[in-house]
Structure 1
Amino acid sequence: MSTSATVAPKEMTLYGFLRPWLGDGLLLSAGDKWSRHRRLLTPAFHFNILKPYVKIFNKSVNIMHAKWQRLVSEGNSHLDMFEHISLMTLDSLQKCVFSFDSNCQENPSEYIAAILELSALIVKRYQQIFLHMNFLYHLTSDGWRFRKACKLVHDFTDAIIQERRHTLTSQGVDEFLKAKAKSKTLDFIDVLLLAKDENGKELSDEDIRSEADTFMFGGHDTTASGLSWVLYNLARHPEYQERCRREVQELLRDRDPKEIEWDDLAQLPFLTMCIKESLRLHPPVTVISRCCTQDVMLPDGRVIPKGNICAISIFGIHHNPSVWPQPEVYDPFRFDPENPQKRSPLAFIPFSAGPRNCIGQTFAMSEMKVALALTLLRFRVLPDHAEPRRKPELILRAEGGLWLRVEPLRAGAR
């Protein structure tokens, strides 16, 4: 069954809890506002904008790996992937969105702590049905903490927008772009400030804040989940891990320093297959919901009446045995481009599908490729003794964290 985004806009229960934080950004807006913002934001994800971000990804991953080397040297090789990788993705997002380096992987950051707290509070609220009512929630200590964290995040974003708008106004667009060309990076805020629709109308400061906050929210947890689970799957399948490692070593053979560049991303076919199969088996977003604005006919003749809310299980689609033989088996060759399968394009939807698919999917895949390639170049990843239990929250986590062991590889070691 497939239905267009116009037939099925987003249902608001869980999404509604995000609104005080994310406002009317792409995730939560609908109708004309959503269409206008999607058009205005699409250039922010053009490869010319994304290319310079690869340097940022390398740097953020290097910081994480230096921390791992230090922990291992202190006798601690047993790490919670979610904890480390979430901080790394937040670090790189802050640099890509705001050109701001909070050094959050090494030192506590109030802003990063607030984002992590907001995500945790929303999950907690969703699980307590009597707190779904706003007036009750606002009376609780969690409600107070939520509002406080929201204010901190909004103040941070607002301050950067106002400072950047002031620079843009005083310099003018040409000078502003000239200065940016020297640093070779237009960040997300710059692109949004410069965006104009077909009538020459700009985004308001409030719109820019909503989109920046949405990208910070949507871009850190999902990528951290995708990366954590692919490391878990490769730890359990050392033969695939080794094949990925050889592919990366071969690619970077004559290079020093060992750094992944934009053009390398298309030269890692097996590593890409391993990421895709992990996104199938452990999709970061396990379910999406839509409200039908017209009757939807099912293949067997039954009808979902207009007005009904449908939960679409991405996890269920990815584990459907009639589409994916032995769905619980991790087999990267399902995605071998040399041997294309006759599957529906909607059989694999880790980034959703249709007009409302994830606008940041190239960004996310690029970051995952850089992080995975560098990790396998420097570390052997080994499974923990305990098998993790999958725990779907806002994203697919593991109960009590996703613990793996890391073993540094000597330079040049195979």
Structure 2
Amino acid sequence: MIAIFSSVIVVCLITWVYFRWVNVRQFWKRRGVSHLPPHPILGSLTFLQRKNPATWMIEMYQKFNTPYVGIWLFWRPALIINSPEIAKNVLVKDFEFFRDRFLSSGSSDPVGGLNLFTTNDPLWSSLRRRLTSVFTSSKLKAMQPLIDTKTFELVERIRSTENKTKISLRYLFTDFTTDIFATAAFGIKTNATLTGEDPMRTVTKAFMEFDMYRGLNWISIFFFPKLVDIFRFSFFPKSSTDYFTRVFNIVSQKRASNRNTESKDFLDVLLKMKEEGANNGEAISDHIIIAQAAIFLFGGFETSGSILSFATYELAFNQDVQEKLYNELKEVQMQSKDGRLEIIKLSELPYINAVTKETLRKYVPMGWLDRVAALDYKVDDNLTIPAGTPIYVNAIGMQHDSKIYPDPDTFNPDRFLPENEKNIKPYTYLPFGDGPRSCIGKRFGQISVRHGIANLILNYKLVPLPGAPKPNEVEFDKRGLFLVPGQHLHVNFVSRNQD
């Protein structure tokens, strides 16, 4: 009798799973949405660990000549947006429908789950409003001494390296950006730019490494958040969050006895935010404060380091672009009394901005912008999606569209010169997103990248190595989710001055 009952249960379960699968598989077909047949377990995510998500997004854009494409995150239907008009609606016009991200790090990971990148309303709105004050022009201008120090150390690091052709661009630049973002976020002095070693650099190096377990963490956070709390996955390794907590406690205690009313850096803003919260009866925990410092570091060091790597590599293979950039920078340097490149002045130069923008067009670190529909949403006259449907704006797909950017595989900064940039179709260039949830650290990241490139070009001529892969032959990392080099890139740094 028990055996018969067990058999009935198994048959019922199999039948339910089968019909559930049939219903899932037919989801986009019933709605007349273009799609590829889903895998019975992974849905559309069969590319994971085999190719970078950005590569897959470009392929999906080019395969379907449609404003949107249906996909499945395992068994959950989601929608890729390939249309700039719909992208505008999702990111800006109908933002109230899409205030929240789909990704989540869950309650088991307070530092990973409470930061501005992963958290949702109402905490997100409160954090965004409070943190905006750190990125004003005056606050960014005050970062000049830090930027000057670290770019000088970057040049010295290269100069002191005997075999300059063996320098790994990715590690060189993430040493540099770790120093800049760690100092701004945690208020500590670090020495990775000069030496390649520092306790904080040990932490950021751990971010760059992906084994199978960490890959599962990130796949769950980005594509199956319900698993995060079940398996207690985390955005940051525990060793990293423990280190962040220790550093924050030490530095905040030192600053507590020497507080000024004027906030000088990101850490000051965080401490002031906690203080104001206590005064207003709004509990802002240390976890929330540490989470913002951690995501500022994480969101900046790897993305800015990656852009610097790709820009340096492209400039080495495009000597005409490099020399044009050098001439622009040299003229500005000669006009400066002390040879220093001022943050405001550099931000106004057309060609270095064009070089930076073109690098971000080709190699945007996160070329897909996730949101989740809070209510049923009418995408267009042909499609309404139910509440809870994840949406991905395919920014990198649009940025590689040959109809929008002719010959998109060619590195051509002239696209972004003022006289040409005005002709680019709106919402087809989204390296920092757009709308209320656009990247809050955009301007700080741009400063780091511009000054890194400028000081390199003024001091070194970048030359490609014989037999090195051309830029369009470079492999991307397949294990992580951001667009970063999947191999060590090297160039020859030839001094423009006598050492």
- If the TM-score is normalised by the length of the shorter chain, which range does it land in? 0.7 to 0.9
Amino acid at match of 1:94: A
1:406 corresponds to: 493
Deviation at 1:369, TM superposition (A): 1.1
Structure 2 length normalisation: TM-score? 0.71
Equivalent residue in structure 2 for 1:40, among 116, 125, 130: 130
2:238 corresponds to: 147
Between 1:15-24 and 1:207-216, the stretch displaced more is 15-24
**Secondary structure in 1 aligned to 2:391?**
strand
1:24 corresponds to: 114
**Identity between Structure 1 and Structure 2 (%):** 23
Amino acid at match of 1:125: R
Distance 1:237 1:24 in 2: 43
Distance 1:127 1:189 in 2: 32
Does the CA-based 8 Å contact 2:402-2:408 persist in structure 1?
Answer: yes
Structure 1 length normalisation: TM-score? 0.85
2:346 corresponds to: 265
Equivalent residue in structure 1 for 2:321, among 231, 236, 240: 240
1:183 corresponds to: none
Deviation at 1:122, TM superposition (A): 8.0
2:334 corresponds to: 253
2:150 corresponds to: 60
Does the CA-based 8 Å contact 1:19-1:28 persist in structure 2?
Answer: no
Distance 1:68 1:400 in 2: 20
Write the mapping of 1:125-140 to structure 2, written as runs, cut at 5 A.
125-126=214-215
Distance 1:38 1:100 in 2: 24
Write the mapping of 1:1-400 to structure 2, written as runs, cut at 5 A.
1=86, 2-3=89-90, 4-8=94-98, 9-12=100-103, 15=105, 19-71=109-161, 74-105=162-193, 106=195, 108-121=197-210, 125-126=214-215, 146-168=237-259, 173-174=260-261, 177=262, 186-195=264-273, 196=276, 200=280, 203-255=284-336, 257-299=338-380, 301-384=382-465, 385-387=468-470, 388-391=474-477, 393-400=480-487
Does the CA-based 8 Å contact 1:86-1:221 persist in structure 2?
Answer: yes
Deviation at 1:394, TM superposition (A): 3.7
Q: Which structure has the bigger radius of gyration? A: 2
For residues 320-339 of structure 1, what are the alpha-carbon distances to aligned partners after superposition, in whole Å with 9 as ceiling and x for unaligned? Answer: 23322222222212112123
Distance 1:161 1:22 in 2: 20
**Secondary structure in 1 aligned to 2:432?**
coil
Amino acid at match of 1:217: F
For residues 142-174 of structure 1, what are the alpha-carbon distances to aligned partners after superposition, in whole Å with 9 as ceiling and x for unaligned? Answer: 99x932332122222232223323443xxxx45
For residues 178-231 of structure 1, what are the alpha-carbon distances to aligned partners after superposition, in whole Å with 9 as ceiling and x for unaligned? Answer: xx8xxxxx121112222447x956754332211111111111111111111111
Amino acid at match of 2:269: V
Deviation at 1:98, TM superposition (A): 2.8
For residues 280-313 of structure 1, what are the alpha-carbon distances to aligned partners after superposition, in whole Å with 9 as ceiling and x for unaligned? Answer: 0111112232211123333462233321112333
**Secondary structure in 1 aligned to 2:167?**
strand
Distance 1:158 1:63, change over 3 A: same
**Unaligned ranges ≥5, structure 1:** 181-185
Does the CA-based 8 Å contact 1:115-1:217 persist in structure 2?
Answer: yes
**Secondary structure in 2 aligned to 1:117?**
helix
How big is the alpha-carbon RMSD for the aligned residues of Structure 1 and Structure 2? Answer: 3.0
Distance 1:124 1:240, change over 3 A: farther
Distance 2:316 2:280 in 1: 52
> Between Structure 1 and Structure 2, how many residues are aligned?
392
Distance 2:216 2:112 in 1: 20
Distance 1:394 1:53, change over 3 A: farther
Amino acid at match of 1:12: L
For residues 46-83 of structure 1, what are the alpha-carbon distances to aligned partners after superposition, in whole Å with 9 as ceiling and x for unaligned? Answer: 01111021221121121121111111xx2332321110
Distance 1:363 1:319 in 2: 25
**Unaligned ranges ≥5, structure 2:** 1-85
Distance 1:326 1:107, change over 3 A: closer
Does the CA-based 8 Å contact 1:98-1:187 persist in structure 2?
Answer: no
Distance 2:220 2:388 in 1: 24
Amino acid at match of 1:337: P
Between 1:128-137 and 1:263-272, the stretch displaced more is 128-137
For residues 215-265 of structure 1, what are the alpha-carbon distances to aligned partners after superposition, in whole Å with 9 as ceiling and x for unaligned? Answer: 111111111111111112211211011000000001111446432112322
Between 1:27-36 and 1:297-306, the stretch displaced more is 297-306
Distance 1:135 1:324 in 2: 42
Does the CA-based 8 Å contact 1:235-1:383 persist in structure 2?
Answer: yes
Does the CA-based 8 Å contact 2:312-2:462 persist in structure 1?
Answer: yes
Amino acid at match of 1:405: N
Does the CA-based 8 Å contact 1:245-1:377 persist in structure 2?
Answer: yes
